[in-house]
Amino acid sequence: GDSVTQTEGLVTLTEGLPVMLNCTYQTAYSTFLFWYVQHLNEAPKLLLKSSTDNKRTEHQGFHATLHKSSSSFHLQKSSAQLSDSALYYCALSEGSALGRLHFGAGTQLIVIP
């Protein structure tokens, strides 16, 4: 079945260093991938999304490229800010099931001064 794997449960970084959060997936259907961000005591919000192979998608300083050959959709940012501290989820659209996304376990990013 469909699955999303986020290998890091917790990433701690010093402000100004680059961010890379890993996401790989498995699916038998068409591929649409999402990154959602959840700040403390808030609801998840869409950060970026893509279905186009090898095309870089950017939003709010973050970027990700969907690589179908390696089934990956890693999230990156060139320089971490304190306000980036949050829980990040990678998610996969489940085939033809509208309204239904399959979420990874999430990666908690903590940025320290």
Partner 1 sequence: VTLLEQNPRWRLVPRGQAVNLRCILKNSQYPWMSWYQQDLQKQLQWLFTLRSPGDKEVKSLPGADYLATRVTDTELRLQVANMSQGRTLYCTCSAGTGVDSGNTLYFGEGSRLIVV
| Burial annotation 84-106 (CB, 10 A radius, 16+ → b, else e) | bbbbbbbbbbbeeeeeebbebeb
CB of 4 to partner 1, least distance (A): 10
Residues that bind partner 1 (CB under 8 A): 29-30, 32, 34, 36, 42-46, 49, 51, 87, 89, 91, 93-103, 105-106
In angstroms, what is the minimal distance from the CB of 109 to partner 1?
A: 13
By the 10 Å C-beta count (0-12 exposed, 13-18 middle, 19+ buried), 21 is classed as buried
Instruction: Output the smallest distance, CB 41 to partner 1, in A.
Output: 9
In the bound state with partner 1, the residue whose beta carbon lies nearer, of 16 and 39, is: 39
18 vs 55, which CB is nearer to partner 1? 55
Asked if 104 and 91 count as a contact pair (C-beta separation under 8 A), the reply is yes
